[in-house]
Structures are given as structure tokens and as C-alpha cells.
Chains A and B, each alone.
Chain A
């Protein structure tokens, strides 16, 4: 209860401050917060939520889920087999070094302006931290646990499921968290580049037609969008890695 109050105090204070400072603003580019909030209310809590927020969310989730699945599926064998790792690592490092927005023109050429392109952009960006962290996590499994599996004849799929994946999961989740932020960035960029709906497209359209309070309300919506996803991810994280955080807290206390 008190923790929540402390956490909410600063955001609220900032909002109030902005509200007061901007209330008499006559600057065209920085309209009063009251006006932005008013637009936010009419724009984003009605039709626009269905028309822009949901399509954005759909693209993001689509691309992100594919990135997670492909990243983990490719990362596990690379992490498990040393020769494969040595062969793959330079290539992975190279692809990771390419800024994903640079691929948008290429992907537009290949996949057109539709959702496929946007999902592909999100996948090409979000997959790297997930893949590389999976490789790292799988590579560094505990030797004693590995020998325990061998002693008790735990092999193949059972070894993967009961040992390799859980022991790599803290690292995989770190990769997934980074992948999610990259995915949101790429979702917005790809929508700004070429889209008829979605948060990124809406912000660009408002900016081009000089509807500045509307544009700011879109930025605000995007902030809340990212923030909610981050909270959702936090819940997922706490849930899947309960054993890991419990163990770590215990080690710290002793």
C-alpha cells in the first residue's frame, strides 16, 4: 500500500506540474495538457482504440510471438552443440549488428505495405536478443545437474523439457524482455513508414495535418501502451521464474 503510494507520487506530481505549467501555453507545438487530455479522452477511449490500438497490438503480438518461438527453437540447438555454435556465432553477430529499421525498405520490396511487412520487421528486430540469450543460457547449464541427468538416464525431449529449458529460462526471459522493447519500437517505426492504421500511423497523420494536441495524445497513448505491456511482461516474468527469484532472495539474505 505504502509502496504503491511512493511509486505513484512522482508520476502524479509530474502530471500536475505539466498541467499547471502548460495551462496558459500559447505555443502551437506545446498545447496545454488539459487540451491533450481532452483529445485523449475523445480519440483514444472510443473508436480509435479499436481502429488503431488493436491493429498495433495485433502486429506486435504476432511478430513478438514468432520472434520468441523462432529465437528459442534456433537458439537451443546452437547453445547445446559446440561445433554448431562456433559455426553460427559470427553470422549471428553480423545479423544482430544490422539496425532492423534499415531492413524496412527491403521488406517493403519483398512483402509490400501490408501487415506481413510490419510483422516481419518486428521479427527481424526482436529475435536477436531472444536468440542470443537462449544460446547463452543453454550453453551455461550447470555441470552437476547435467551429470545428474546422465546418471538418471534423463535424455532427449525429457532432458530438454525438465533440465535445459528451465535452467536457461532466466536468461531467455531477459532476452524476451529486451525483445519486447525492440518490438514496440519497430512496430511504431514500421507503422510510421507505411500504414493506414495503427498508433505509429495515427501519430504521423496528426503531425502532417498539424493537429498537434491530437499528436501529443497519440504519443501519450503509445506511452501507456508500452507501459501496460511492460507490466504484463513483469507478471509473466514473476510467474514463470518464481523459483529463480525465490532462490536468489534466499541467497541474498543468508
Chain B
């Protein structure tokens, strides 16, 4: 399994060290993502999800442990990876048209031209901006697509549309997706597999295989008994993580 994993995380540990403070964000994480997987990562807020993602994307160096993408250790952002950030408004270049935003990484990579549109980035709604960011990521033809809470800031209807867009892209384009979210329903709906993280210092609490067969749809999938069961299991896991974290942070009385 590890032999052909696209992304392989081995004993990842990340400590933020400043002059007088030491915060262990990620304790010890080990997991593999196989080619073509749709893996969702959920965890309570402050679980170091963003830290994990930045380490995966080569934007932050781990304190110890290793991350392999396509068998190579990550030292900087790997060329075969695209990332979609939560802050769509700040991840597109406002001085460029939609077309130029999508084309820029392709020009760097020397790939053929994309469809032209004259709309300018900041004139679009949030949902449309995130679509452009996803389009840019897809057009880049990455092996791995990493998304950091991409739909956290859009309205519910748009969110459902974007989730289905992600599923369609994943099936049609044979992508490997790592999707970070704080929304358990979203994780179960989208993923084939959900990794549940503990509070910081982060460990993996649960590795859930989502065995909901067939094509997923917003109306039908969410009312299946399997769906409810899985979301309950993950929900409980996260609640336990939260109370454990609270207990740990409380002063010990004797």
C-alpha cells in the first residue's frame, strides 16, 4: 500500500517555537493516500488541520518526520500538487482577468491556453471566485489536489453545488484529493475515507472508510442509514477529542 501511495506522511511532528513559547501543533501523524483516493480530513477547530495542509503543500517545514509526494520527500511546494485555499478572495490575483488567473501557472508550466473570459476576478461572487480557483488548480493538471476548507465561506446552496462539482471533477479527471474540512457531513458526503484528527498536538483518532456505494447525490445520499451512522461515529470521535483536550488543559486539583 505504501509502495504506490501518492502522498505518504510518516511520523509528522510540528512544533511552533518562539522565544518564550513552544506549541506542539501536530503530535505524530502517519497515513498514506493512494492514487485516486478522495480523502477528507476532519477535526475540531485548532486541530492543526491548516498546519498539516501547509506541511503537505511544502509551505511549512515539519519539525520531524517526513512527507513523501510521489515518492519524493517534500522540501518545497511539489510541482505535482495544486492547492485551493479557503480565502478565495485572497488567492486569486485581483489585477488579472479570470482567464489570466487560470493561465498564469500554465504559462509557467508551458501548457496550452485555456478558455477565454473577460470577467475580472473581483467582480465575481464568492462561489464563482472559488470555482476559478478550482479551475486554476485543475488546469494545472496536478497529481494531488489539496483543498483547505474551500467552501467554509460560501452560502449553503453554493456549497452543495461546489461539493458536487468536486465529486464530478474527481470522478472524471482521476484526481487524488485531500480535502480538509471542519464539516463532518461534508467529509462523509465527499470522501471515500475520512481521517479524524484529535486536538493539538494532533494525532489520528479514527480512519473511517466511507462505504456508501454508487453515485452520491445531495438529496439521496444524506438520508441513507449508512450516512447517518458514519457521521455519528465521526461526531462522537470529535466530541471525545474535545472533552479530552478540555480535561488536559484544566488545572489538576488535589
Given the known interface contacts A152-B104, A166-B93, the answer about A246 and B120 at a Cβ–Cβ threshold of 8 Å is: yes
| A51–B122 CA distance with the chains assembled, in angstroms | 48
CB < 8 Å neighbour of A147 from B59, B92, B108: B59
- Render A149-167 as a binary contact track against B, CB cut-off 8 A, 1 for contact: 0111110001000110011
Cβ–Cβ < 8 Å partners of A151 in chain B: 57, 59, 77, 81-83
Cβ–Cβ < 8 Å partners of B94 in chain A: 243-244, 247
Query: Is the C-beta of B79 less than 8 angstroms from some C-beta in chain A?
Result: yes
Residues of A participating in the B interface, judged by any CB pair closer than 8 Å? 142-145, 147-148, 150-154, 158, 162-163, 166-167, 169, 243-244, 246-247, 250
CB < 8 Å neighbour of A153 from B85, B87, B108, B120: B108
Cβ–Cβ < 8 Å partners of B87 in chain A: 144
Given the known interface contacts A150-B77, A151-B82, A152-B82, the answer about A145 and B120 at a Cβ–Cβ threshold of 8 Å is: no
| A145–B136 CA distance with the chains assembled, in angstroms | 14
| A147–B85 CA distance with the chains assembled, in angstroms | 9
Residues of B participating in the A interface, judged by any CB pair closer than 8 Å? 54, 57-59, 76-77, 79, 81-83, 85, 87, 90-96, 104-105, 107-109, 120, 122-123, 136, 140
Closest chain A residue, CB of each to CB of B136: A152
Sample 26 A-B pairs with CB under 8 A, ordered by A number. A144-B87, A144-B90, A147-B57, A148-B85, A150-B59, A150-B76, A151-B57, A151-B81, A151-B83, A152-B82, A152-B136, A152-B140, A153-B79, A153-B105, A153-B108, A153-B109, A154-B108, A158-B107, A162-B93, A162-B96, A162-B104, A167-B95, A243-B120, A244-B95, A246-B123, A250-B122
Closest chain A residue, CB of each to CB of B86: A144
Cβ–Cβ < 8 Å partners of A250 in chain B: 122-123
CB < 8 Å neighbour of A163 from B77, B93, B136: B93
| A151–B74 CA distance with the chains assembled, in angstroms | 12
| A2–B171 CA distance with the chains assembled, in angstroms | 58
Cβ–Cβ < 8 Å partners of A244 in chain B: 94-95
Asked if residues A246 and B122 are in contact (CB atoms below 8 Å), the reply is: yes
A172 vs chain B, min Cβ distance (A): 13
Cβ–Cβ < 8 Å partners of B123 in chain A: 246, 250
| A147–B57 CA distance with the chains assembled, in angstroms | 10
Closest chain B residue, CB of each to CB of A144: B90
Closest chain A residue, CB of each to CB of B106: A152
CB < 8 Å neighbour of B104 from A142, A143, A154, A246: A154
| A36–B95 CA distance with the chains assembled, in angstroms | 48
| A167–B95 CA distance with the chains assembled, in angstroms | 8
The 9 A-B residue pairs with the shortest CB-CB distance, nearest first, are A152-B105, A144-B90, A247-B122, A243-B95, A166-B95, A151-B83, A150-B77, A148-B91, A151-B77
Cβ–Cβ < 8 Å partners of B96 in chain A: 162
| A166–B101 CA distance with the chains assembled, in angstroms | 13
Asked if residues B77 and A153 are in contact (CB atoms below 8 Å), the reply is: yes
| A147–B76 CA distance with the chains assembled, in angstroms | 11
Interface hub of B59, B77, B95 (most chain A Cβ within 10 A): B95
